[in-house]
Amino acid sequence: MQSLEQYPVILEQPVAWGDMDAFGHVNNVMYYRYIESARLAYLNRLNILIGPLLTVVATNQCRYLKPVVYPDQLKIGARIEEIGTSSFRMSYLLWSEQQQVVVATAEAVLVCINKNTMQKMAIPEDIQAIIKQLENTVSHAI
């Protein structure tokens, strides 16, 4: 199994009491919110949100391995696994401080859109270079 050391961006996410559902564990919807926060932390590292490029989620999925309950602190690793012409695939690892194990893994495919035309656009070369440089900080070549 992968470890957080293989992820260049790690977000610390406290679990709130209100994140739990009637069954006494974190609701599955919350995992997607946690993952979204980790994705935005990654995109902020790319300075991607200030230019003409938008990203939209084309697909996403989450595999729940262990239930999470309050109180807990999650560490969410985010990385890019694959870069296409106008899309990229990200993966996420959710680690529970309380349990000291991976509690979920997730994946998303994001498509790049020009915010002016709202049409799909190629990932700019400078953004690709920043992604590769960031991934190389954890010896992850793409």
Split the chain (142 residues) into runs of 10 and give each run's mean pLDDT.
90 98 97 98 92 94 98 98 98 98 98 96 96 97 92
pTM equals 0.95
83-108 tens-digit pLDDT: 999 999 999 999 999 999 999 999 99
Please tell me the predicted confidence (pLDDT) of residue 107: 98
Q: Where are the beta strands (DSSP E) in the chain?
A: 9-15, 53-64, 72-83, 87-96, 101-114
Question: Per the structure block, which two tokens stand in for 121?
Answer: 């656009």
